[in-house]
Amino acid sequence: MDIFAKCYAPSMADQAREQGIYPYFHALESRQDTEVIMEGKRRIMLGSNNYLGLTTHPEVIEAGIKAFEQYGSGCSGSRFLNGTLRMHLELEAELAKFLRKEAVVTFSTGFQSNLGIISAVVGPGDYVIMDKENHASLYDGCRLSYGKMVRYTHNDMEELERRLQAVPETAGALIVTDGVFSMGGDIANLPEICRLARKYGARVMVDDAHGLGVIGEGGRGTASYYGLEDEVDIYMGTFSKSLASLGGYMASSARVVDYVRHSSRPFIFSASMTPASCASALAALRILENHPELPQTLQSRALFMRRKLEEAEIRMRPSNGNIIPIIPIYTYEVIPTLTIAKELYDRGVYVNSSLPPATAPSECLLRTSLMATHTEALIEEAVGIIKEVLQEHDI
């Protein structure tokens, strides 16, 4: 059998293209902002993870330009060898201080961070216990490790306890959860997770890619939101969302971070963050530190949009996080979801389609996300268009 046979089999992508509702790879022609030019037309951007709106901040842009001029376009090597800049160390030190952890190690992407952390920490005979709605990169990190992965139903603490009870006493266990879940916009039950971890001698890792800059004191994330900073053993996060750049990090104790630096193959064998990316992330971090009101503004925008959607009688996925800027709207079936997303796009609103396997087959969603820089007027305009299109489809 030809190994390429799968590439030529009919697919959902083929069907969507044929029907003119293919939702991917629309080309931006402007900066990532609340309003963008995409394929020649103005669109209200409700599909970005640029939560604090810092991708267009003058200080972030200036920092990237200066780093490009000073250090060139890349580091041409891994952090382990020739690819460490003084600025990498500066970013790690400032981020560790901000997150109130002993140390931080940075990775070239957020996806790579999860691959590198889990594959290093979870070894033969260890167990990694995962929420079923965790990000795909966490699952791939488990596959790259030599441990045994078990899963529990989303935020089901009784099932999590049963999974922990089944771990042999001789095995290590790492509970891994998103802090803010990227599809549903809800928040992990971190107090109960930490309680169960203490009870059964497990460690806790939180993927806070969508929590940093969004919740917690000054935007410090999910553990800070719950007052559990000392009980979460590993934070993971990205620079591609609130911090307006590219890359990722792990924050933990100095000893654990040092172990990962010397054991993580995705870290050791990948080129380091580019100078411009590093400088931009550092500038964005300093803006967040100096402007703790930014996450509060973002939260107020989320509350405002939810209120407007409720007034329009638009059904959202239930969430325990009304202040989270990820707001999923039910559209139920695959083809109607893609059709509605296309019609919204044509009328000037960009949203993301959430389809199986990210959702159940009959629970497809339009995933909308906000920035602190969205105005209430823009949100009202977008909600009005969403309401019109959904009513035309009897949703």
Interval 3-37: pLDDT, tens:
999 999 999 999 999 999 999 999 999 999 999 99
Q: Nearest Cα to 215, choosing from 279, 288, 309?
A: 288
Give the closest residue to 51 by CA, choosing from 366, 292, 294, 232: 294
- Domains by residue range for the chain, with CATH: 5-51+292-392 (3.90.1150.10), 58-290 (3.40.640.10)
Taking a C-beta distance cutoff of 8 angstroms, is the pair 238, 248 a contact?
yes
- Per residue in 176-206, pLDDT (tens digit) is 999 999 999 999 999 999 999 999 999 999 9
Q: How confident is the model at residue 239 (pLDDT cuts 50, 70, 90)?
A: very high
Lookup: tokens for 249? 């990090």
* β-pair partners for 329: 316, 366
Tokens of 356: 């199986």
| Contact yes or no for 340/389 (Cβ under 8 A) | yes
Q: What is the pLDDT of residues 267-298, one digit of tens each?
A: 999 999 999 999 999 999 999 999 999 999 99
Length of the chain: 395
Residues known to be catalytic? 182, 210, 241
- For the chain, percent of residues with pLDDT exceeding 70: 100
- Record the pTM: 0.96
The sign one gets for the Cα dihedral 222, 228, 232, 234 is positive
Give the confidence band of 359 by pLDDT, cuts at 50, 70, 90: confident
> What distance in Å separates the CA atoms of residue 131 and residue 206, rounded to the nearest whole number?
11
Q: 184 — phi, psi (to 5°)?
A: -90, -20
Tokens of 152: 């529990």
What is the distance between the alpha carbons of residues 49 and 30, in angstroms, rounded to a whole number?
16
Query: pLDDT digit string (tens) for 107-135?
Result: 999 999 999 999 999 999 999 999 999 99
Residue 358: pLDDT band with limits 50, 70, 90:
confident
Average pLDDT score over residue span 253-259:
98
Tell me the one-letter amino acid at 340.
I
Q: What is the pLDDT of residue 144?
A: 95
Helix/strand/coil (H/E/C) assignment for every residue in the chain: CCCCHHHHCCCHHHHHHHHCCCCCCCCECCCCCCEEEECCEEEEECCCCCCCCHHHCHHHHHHHHHHHHHHCCCCCCECCCCCCCHHHHHHHHHHHHHHCCCEEEEECCHHHHHHHHHHHHCCCCCEEEEECCCCHHHHHHHHHCCCEEEEECCCCHHHHHHHHHCCCCCCCEEEEEECECCCCCCECCHHHHHHHHHHHCCEEEEECCCCCCCCCHHHCCHHHHHCCCCCCCEEEEECCCCCCCCCEEEEECHHHHHHHHHHCHHHHCCECCCHHHHHHHHHHHHHHHHCCHHHHHHHHHHHHHHHHHHHCCCCECCCCCCCCCEEEEEEECHHHHHHHHHHHHHCCEECEEECCCCCCCCCEEEEEECCCCCCHHHHHHHHHHHHHHHHHCCC
pLDDT at 16: 95
Question: Taking residues 220-246, what's their average pLDDT?
Answer: 98
